[in-house]
Amino acid sequence: MKRLLALAVLALTACGLPIGNADDFREASPSRQGIDIKVPANGQALESDEVGQIQQGLLGEQAAWYKTTRTVTVVVNTATAAILKLCESIVSYEPTTVTDDTAVWGPWTDSLSPNTYKFTVTKVANGYDYVLEGKGKTEADSAFRKLLTGHHEPGATKKQGKGTFSVDWNKAAELPEHGNEIGSADFTYERNAQMDVTVGVKFNQVADNDHPGKKVDARYAFAKKSGADGSFEFIVINGKAESFAVKSRWQDGGAGRSDVNAKTATGAVLGTIAECWGATFLETYYAESWNPNALQGKESDCVFATAEYSTL
């Protein structure tokens, strides 16, 4: 997909002019909404063979569920980054045509590419709709396939707004030149007047680079108050087919807590896990409901006193 998106950027911007008067249409692009998922950093896949070893962490070591949370955000951000970079690259140039209610970039074909691309933003009653389309350069215009579709509703300022967008890797695979990705993904986002942000992601029957032969579904939910607490929910599956529904929360300074609902490969409830860490991401508390011998530290040392579990 990265190769596909890079070619699309070239195709749609190679003949671009300096930025013109299409700012309202540009601001509808999801690349302008700041929807990347940010977890406090110290220093990957939809499934993780390492999840089964997470409970082996020790007090004073880097918290294992913090590391897992951080790793899973890489999946979501990597999936969105190429798309958002493409949109940003496209709208940084002058549209091929622009009217009161529509701006169109393309169609254009790079000299050495078998693909042709077009990006269209349309003003509607409650905001803007947009679509990235692609086809083989020798195909008729009726063959354009929708690779990315979305809708944006602007707020009172440029930074505010909400919207949705979807990417279809199955349609991209029909192009003469394409990546190896399979499936689709749906995104929702919102940023309010206080600059608080929420992001939801749903992957549908995708195959990632670590597991190319296995299609999976996955869901993620992220929330972050400006300069305050954040949270991230996700589900991971280990090599034993055990599932872990995780809700991680953290303060702006980095200290946080993960609460986990664990199930066996057959779907039976295994129990719950709780882990807390301090501002330097070192474990301060750990507990497993089914294993009293795993208890380490005191829950009273957690920055969040009580458990909160994922609703995914």
Task: For residues 184 and 217, give the distance between their C-alpha atoms in angstroms, rounded to a whole number.
Answer: 10
pLDDT value at 261 more than 80: yes
Phi, psi of 252 (to 5 degrees): -60, -30
pLDDT of the residue at 48: 39
pLDDT of the residue at 222: 83
Output the DSSP codes for 256-288: EEEEEEEE-TTS-EEEEEEEEE-TT-BEEEEEE
Task: For residues 249 and 233, give the distance between their C-alpha atoms in angstroms, rounded to a whole number.
Answer: 9
Task: For residues 71 and 210, give the distance between their C-alpha atoms in angstroms, rounded to a whole number.
Answer: 14
Asked, for residue 306, whether it belongs to a domain, the answer is no
Task: For residues 275 and 257, give the distance between their C-alpha atoms in angstroms, rounded to a whole number.
Answer: 6
Give the lowest-confidence range in 47-51, 103-107, 306-310: 47-51
Asked, for residue 143, whether it belongs to a domain, the answer is yes
pLDDT in tens, 175-198: 998 877 778 889 888 888 888 888
Asked, for residue 24, whether it belongs to a domain, the answer is yes
Average pLDDT, the chain: 79
pLDDT level of residue 258 (50, 70, 90 thresholds): very high
Task: For residues 21 and 100, give the distance between their C-alpha atoms in angstroms, rounded to a whole number.
Answer: 11
Residues 6 or more apart in contact with residue 185 via CB below 8 angstroms: 79, 166, 167, 169, 201, 202, 203, 204, 206
Asked, for residue 126, whether it belongs to a domain, the answer is yes
Average pLDDT over residues 161-186: 87
Q: Which two tokens stand for residue 169?
A: 């890797």
Average pLDDT over residues 151-159: 85
pLDDT of the residue at 59: 65
Asked, for residue 249, whether it belongs to a domain, the answer is yes
Q: How many domains does the chain have?
A: 1
pLDDT in tens, 53-99: 444 455 667 788 787 777 776 656 665 566 667 677 777 778 999 99
Instruction: Determine the structural domain holding residue 160 and report its residue range.
Output: 2-301
Asked, for residue 307, whether it belongs to a domain, the answer is no
Task: Please give the model's pTM, rounded to 2 decimal places.
Answer: 0.74
Q: Which of 277, 283, 221, 285 is nearest to 250 (CA)?
A: 277
Asked, for residue 23, whether it belongs to a domain, the answer is yes
Taking 3-state DSSP, the helix, strand and coil percentages for the chain, each rounded to the nearest 5, stand at 20, 40, 40
Asked, for residue 198, whether it belongs to a domain, the answer is yes
Task: For residues 83 and 73, give the distance between their C-alpha atoms in angstroms, rounded to a whole number.
Answer: 16
The residue whose two tokens read 């579709």 is 149
pLDDT of the residue at 284: 93
Task: For residues 102 and 119, give the distance between their C-alpha atoms in angstroms, rounded to a whole number.
Answer: 11
